[in-house]
Every structure is written in C-alpha cells, then in structure tokens.
Chain A
Amino acid sequence: MLAVLERLAAEPQQWRHGYDLMKETGLFSGTLYPLLMRMTDQGLVEAEWREPAQPGRPARHAYRLTTAGLALARDIAANAASDAGKAALT
C-alpha cells in the first residue's frame, strides 16, 4: 500500500491508470487491484472512468488520491523522514 500511496502522492492531481501503476510500483495485478479496491472502500483513493487517449479503445479506469489519502501519504512520509532523522542522530 505504501508503494501505491507514494506513487499517487508524487503527482496528486494526476489521474493514473492501473497498468501504469503496476509498472511504476512493480506490483502484480493480483496485488494492485485488491489494494486499490480496499483503498477506494476506505476513501483514500477515488476512481473514475476516463476517455482513452487512443481512439477505438475502451474507456479506462483511472485513480488518484482523495484529500484523506493525500493527508495519510504525507503523514507517512513525514513519519518516515522523522524516523530517518532520529536514526541518523543515534
């Protein structure tokens, strides 16, 4: 989930397709889709049908973080940075 949050948070306004997310996160479709389903159920991700870039192709489902999802991604990133800082000091 962290990998998906991180990728989607990198460009929060950008809608991303499932296959592009697979390539960027290195996740298998059998892992990515259940994650996207859960994250959508929890209100972290929003999904909508987007018109295809190439004519003749079907509309594709696209995803981006909701405000709650973006807040969670930023919290996790901040906590990770804080932990890294503490580790560097010790």
Chain B
Amino acid sequence: MKLVIARAMMALAAHGLGGARRPWGMAMLAEFDAAADAGQPLRFAAGCLIAAIRELPRQEEGRFALASYALALGVMLPMASVQLGAALFGLPYLFPGAGDLPGALLEGSAHEGLIRSVYQAASPAIIMLLLTLAVGHFCIAWSMIERDWDRVRRLGTLELAGSVTLILFMAVLFLDSSRIAVQTAVLVVELATLRIIVERHAQLFPAAAPAEHPG
C-alpha cells in the first residue's frame, strides 16, 4: 500500500514537471526504485512532489498550469454548479421576482392568466438548456485539467451558442431584464477569460496549437 501511494505521488510529481523541466520529472521517476529498495519510497516521493509543486510557479508553463487549474476550479465548476442549481431548484438568478418560477408566473396578479401558459411551455426547454450548459461547463473544466485546449475552444464555442440562446429566451419571456444583464455579464467574463487562456497556451506551446484550416 505504501508503495502504491508513493508511486501515485511520483506520477503526480512527474506530471507536474512539464515543459523544460520534464527530464527532471523523468530523473526523479528513474531514481524511485533506488529509494524503494532502500525502504524510503514515501519519503522520497513526498520530497519529489514538494519539489515539483515548488517548481510550478517558477516556470512559465507551471504558472500557466496553475492559472488554468484556478480557472477550472474557481470559475468553471462554480458556474456549472450554479447552472445545475438553477435548472434543478430554480435558483433566483434565472427567474424574475423573489419567488423563483411561481414568482415568474406572477401568481395572483392580473398578468398571470396571460403568461402562465407561455412560461409553462418554455420552462422545460430552458431547464434542458441550463442542464446542457452546466454539463458543458463541467466538460470545459475537465478539458482544462487535461490540457486539451482544442476541445476547450470547441466547447467554449458551443457554450457561447447555448448561452446566447438562453439570453434570447430570457429576453423574450421575462419582464425583468436585469436577469438578462447578469447572464450576459457572466457569459462575457467567462468567455473572455477562456479566450485569453487559450491564446496564452497557443503562445507558450505553438507546436501544440491546432493547425489553421484554409477557407
């Protein structure tokens, strides 16, 4: 068991040392057998992992990896959770008024009879759209951790299309346009951040950037 944990720590350390430091990750891995033979696999692996973590902010690639992890964990996953919550529990940012969906239907007001059927017809589509956007955010976060920037870009484009559709739905249906402003602001910040980080990746690793297709 100790050996399994130590090997997992070594794999993490070697994975953390990317780019110009990759040979050092390989060097640590190659040295692990000697440490394990001497009965110190955990101690050696813990040291290598600490060295890899300390090395991350010193390298351009490491700083980029830290920034992308922070974006994935600090922006994409929370956004996915908010959209999942909005779809499943009717969080207030989606619907106008204080009463979630019943509030949006303006229950008891003069408008209720006019708009209830429209909201009822539109709600399943909005909920499906929100669930799709939430899953999309989870996929973007996962692709960022996996460093698959081409997939991040493609998913970002799909998220943009889905979000614009949601905004159009909200603009058509809702009386309170401040909710549209919130959704639009979130979309703009998020996609701008994604674009910056994808472009930064292309600058740092030009060989890994997807080829431009003519036409």
Residue ranges of A at the interface with B (Cβ–Cβ < 8 Å): 17-20, 22-23, 28-34, 36-37, 47, 57-61
Query: Once the chains are docked, how many angstroms separate the CA of A17 from the CA of B31?
Result: 8
**A33-B24, A34-B54 given; A61·B31 CB < 8 A:** yes
B residues contacting A by CB (< 8 A) are: 21, 23-24, 26-31, 33-35, 38, 43-44, 46-51, 54-55
Question: Which residue of the partner chain B has the closest CB to A63?
Answer: B27
Residue of B nearest to A40 (CB): B24
The residues of B that contact A30 with a CB separation of less than 8 Å are 46-51, 54
* Known contacts A18-B31, A30-B46, A61 near B38 by CB under 8 Å: no
Taking a contact as CB atoms under 8 Å apart, the answer to whether A29 and B48 are in contact is yes
Most buried by B among A30, A34, A47: A30
Query: In angstroms, how far is the closest chain B Cβ from the Cβ of A57?
Result: 6
**A17-B34 CB under 8 A given contacts A29-B28, A33-B28, A47-B27:** yes
Q: Is the CB of A34 within 8 A of B38?
A: no
Enumerate chain B residues within 8 angstroms of A32, measured Cβ to Cβ: 47
Closest Cβ–Cβ distance, residue B210 to chain A (whole Å): 32
Chain B: CB-nearest residue to A29? B47
Instruction: Give the number of residue pairs across the A-B interface with Cβ within 8 Å.
Output: 63
Task: Please give, as numbers and ranges, the residues of chain B lying within 8 Å of A34 by CB-CB distance.
Answer: 51, 54-55
Contact of A19 among B34, B51, B54 (CB under 8 A): B34
Min CB gap A54→B, angstroms = 9
Give the residue of A20, A29, A31, A58 whose beta carbon is less than 8 angstroms from that of B30.
A58
For the complex, would chain B's binding face be called helix, strand, loop or mixed by DSSP majority?
helix
B52, chain A: closest CB distance, angstroms? 9
**Which residue of chain B has the shortest Cβ distance to A57 in the bound complex?**
B33
Q: A17-B31, A19-B34 are in contact. Are A61 and B47 (CB under 8 A)?
A: no
6 A-B contact pairs sorted by A residue (CB < 8 Å): A18-B27, A28-B43, A33-B27, A47-B23, A57-B33, A60-B27
Bound state CA distance, A38 and B46, in angstroms?
20
A79, chain B: closest CB distance, angstroms: 29
Whether A58 lies near B46 (C-beta < 8 A) is: no
**Shortest Cβ distance from A4 into chain B, in angstroms?**
14
Contacts known (A47-B27, A59-B30); A31 close to B35, Cβ less than 8 A: no
Chain A residues near B31 (CB-CB < 8 A): 17-19, 60-61
* Contact B51 A61, beta carbon cutoff 8 Å: no
Name the residue of chain B whose CB is nearest to the CB of A35.
B51
CA distance A28 to B55 in the complex (A): 15
List the A side residues contacting B43 at CB < 8 Å. Answer: 28-29
Kindly state the separation between the CA atoms of A53 and B35 in the bound complex, as whole angstroms: 15
Task: Taking A20-B34, A28-B43, A30-B51 as given, write out 12 further A-B residue pairs in contact, using a Cβ cutoff of 8 Å, ordered by the A residue number.
Answer: A18-B31, A19-B44, A29-B35, A29-B43, A31-B51, A33-B47, A34-B54, A36-B24, A37-B21, A60-B30, A61-B30, A61-B31
Chain A residues closer than 8 Å to B23, beta-carbon distance: 47, 61
